[in-house]
Amino acid sequence: MQPCVAEIARAQPQHVRTLLGTAALDNYLIRMLLGPSVFFLPLRAINASHLRAATAGEPEPEPKLEPEPEP
């Protein structure tokens, strides 16, 4: 019988446990946009202030699609 993911995670050092669960399960995009100081916060630590900070930047411009020249 193979161990479950939780048993495997508990057997790992803290920094590995963070990598196993935090970003994959909880507010991945916010964590990626705000960098390592937010990325490695514990599960369920992201709140509305993090959302505001992640969305405060300028919106990316829409890419313009140019028609391909005819041969």
- Total-model pTM: 0.51
Task: Locate the domains of the chain by residue range.
Answer: 5-46
Please report the DSSP string for 9-50 in residue order: HHTS-HHHHHHHHHHHHS-HHHHHHH-HHHHTSPTT---HHH
Residues (pLDDT < 50) of the chain are none
Q: What are phi and psi of 23, to 5 degrees?
A: -70, -35
